[in-house]
Every structure is written in structure tokens, then in C-alpha cells.
Amino acid sequence: MWMMASRSENILLAFATALIIAGVAVSLVKPPASTTGAPRAALELPAGLISPANDARDGSGVVTVASRRASHGAVSLHTSAALHATFSRLGYDLERVRVGDKPVPRVFLASLPPDLKDLRDVERRKSLFFRTVLPLVLSTNERILRDRKRLWTLRAEKRLGQTPSAVDRLWLAVMADRYGVKRNDLNELLHRIDVIPPSLALAQSAEESGWGTSRFAREGNAIFGQWTYNDMGFVPARRDKGKRHRVRAFDQLSDSVAAYFRNLNTHRAYRSFRRMRSALRAQGAAVDGTKLLKGLSRYSERGEDYIRTIRTIITANDLRRLDDARLNQSASGGPPAI
């Protein structure tokens, strides 16, 4: 069993918790603006792709370029054509990713090209959308897997009667608050700190954003159609009389992806989704998006019709084979294996 923390450690935990609460309060008082400034895209590019004169590396292995207004000599990704050309230079092809021949490059765009809606080639539009969202989903899953691995280790130590360090206790307190579980309920925390299959995330983002062409996606980076009840967001054109919800806006695409993950991993409406995922884990089976669909019947007011639509998108676009996709190795190493 875990030993009682010392008085100094309790003070440290209380202070950290107070900081967390203060941060949440600030975000509630001053939520993100409904419009975005000039977004920026972070790319991890192979050597030689950008000439030294254009290289904006900061020592982290990441090149940052303006996606809305390119500075002199920088690569602009503000159009669908420019984005397609960049993906082609990187050899980023979904079919090669599906067969395991190529990892996904670490290309993280802050926003979709605004002219995506004008692209008449439907297949290219869909491909650009999927290739933009997939790295963001995989990156979020990487972070979750790191947290899951650490939690798994701490839970095993607890069962052996070992005492966690003060740093680990602080980390557990932060995770418990973030995922909305009781302190020391590591089993429930393990149910919540887990991945979302890329096939599911890609299909839902495509449906909710009109393949990146909706007003919400273009003006607010909202690709999952998440609601908010504060004044910062978009009023849906067909909102029923008497309803007060808005579609939440985000500063960048990664914020929308993070909020989607948090929603599925914490909201009470998706308890069955998390139970199904944990059951697959217990069976040693892959976390399959199509097997988890029934747990998302409350995601949309359309209910079962929505589930059928998401299933059709996954099947028609062969998205299940992207569930095994991985980002290329970063300077800090690859994702943990669990």
C-alpha cells in the first residue's frame, strides 16, 4: 500500500492543485476568441527540402513557416496546391501509409487551406483533408500512450506496495483532475487515458466539418462540431428555436483535436465507448474504431443514423488500415509500445 505523504509534500500538492484551478478559472473567464489570427504550421522536414537561406530551424528539429502569410523566402501552405506539393515532396501518400511502407511525416498544420472548398477534384480534397488531420491525431495518441505507460507502471508499483515519489504523486493528481476522476482511482484513470483509433477520428472530423469545407472549419478550426454554451463560438444556421448552443471555435486545428480526445475520454455520454475500449484491451484485441462506434450514439442528435454514416465513411475510404499508422521518428524517439 502507499504510505501517507509528508506535510511538505501535501503542501506541494495543494499548491499545484491551486495553480490548476486558477488556470481553469482563467480559461473560463477569458475563453479562446471565436476568430483566429494568422495561424502557423510546424513542420519537421528532412534535410535538404528547404534551402539553408529559407531554413527557420530553432534547434528543435522543427521548421516553422507561416501558413497564412509567408515571410520572404518561406514555404507557404495557404493554398491546396501548395499543401499538395509539400506532401508530395515529403513522399506523404496515404496508400503507402496503409501498407506500412511509409511513416507519417510530422507535419502539423494550424489550419486547413481556405480554398479547400473550391477544389473540384473530390478525391484530392479528401486526401488533403485526411493527410492534414492524421498527423495531429497520431501526435495526440503518442502523448496519451506516454501517459498511459507511466500510469501503468505506477499502478503496478502500487500493487507491489511500493511508494511513489513526490513527483509521481503530483503527476497523478494532475492527471486525476484533467480526466475528472477521484484521486488514487488508477483503474478508472486507466480507462480514460487511452487512444482514439485514427479511423474513427478521421471519419468523424470529415463528417462534422464537411471534409474541412464548413464555415466552422474554415473560420474556427472546428473539425469535430463540438458545442459550447458561452458566447464564444458560431451559431449554427439550422439551430432549433429555443436552443442556446454554439459550435466551439479554436485557435488552431491541434486545439480542436485535443478537445475531441478530452470529450470522448471524460464526458459521461461516452462511458459505454470507454467500457468497450477497455474490454478490447482486456481481450488483447486491437482498439478498432468500427467496434467502438456503438458507444458514440449520443455524439449526434441523429443517433443511429449518425453511426451508420461514420461506419460508411470508414469503410468507403479504407480508414481502418490507418489505425496502425505511426509518425516518423522524432529527435526524442518514437512512441512507446503498449
DSSP symbols for 140-197? HHHHHHHHHHHHHHHHHHHHTTPPPPHHHHHHHHHHHHHHT--TT-HHHHHHHS----
Q: What is the pLDDT of residues 61-101, one digit of tens each?
A: 333 333 333 333 323 368 999 999 999 999 999 999 999 99
User: How much is the mean pLDDT over the chain?
Assistant: 79
pLDDT at 330: 61
Give the pTM: 0.76
Residues 6+ apart with CB under 8 A from 218: 112, 114, 116, 117, 212
Statement: residue 202 has pLDDT above 80: yes
Among candidate residues 40, 57, 39, the one with its CA nearest the CA of residue 48:
57
Statement: residue 245 has pLDDT above 70: no
Dihedral of the alpha carbons of 62, 64, 67, 73, in degrees to the nearest 10? -120
pLDDT grade for 226, boundaries at 50, 70 and 90: confident
pLDDT grade for 16, boundaries at 50, 70 and 90: low
pLDDT at 172: 97
pLDDT at 3: 38
Contact 244, 228 (CB under 8 A): no
pLDDT at 237: 52
Give me the phi and psi of 3, to 5 degrees please.
-80, 160
Statement: residue 291 has pLDDT above 80: yes
Statement: residue 48 has pLDDT above 80: no
β-sheet bridge partners, residue 107: 43
Once rounded to an integer, what is the mean pLDDT over residues 244-252?
77
pLDDT grade for 228, boundaries at 50, 70 and 90: low
Q: Rounded distance, CA 304 to CA 278, Å?
A: 22
Amino acid at residue number 74 = A
Half-sphere exposure of 145 (CA within 13 A, CB side): 16
Q: Which helix (H) or strand (E) holds 259?
A: helix 253-266
pLDDT at 184: 87
Contact 65, 77 (CB under 8 A): yes
330 three-state secondary structure: strand
Report CA Rg, the chain. 21
247 three-state secondary structure: strand
End-to-end CA distance of the chain: 25
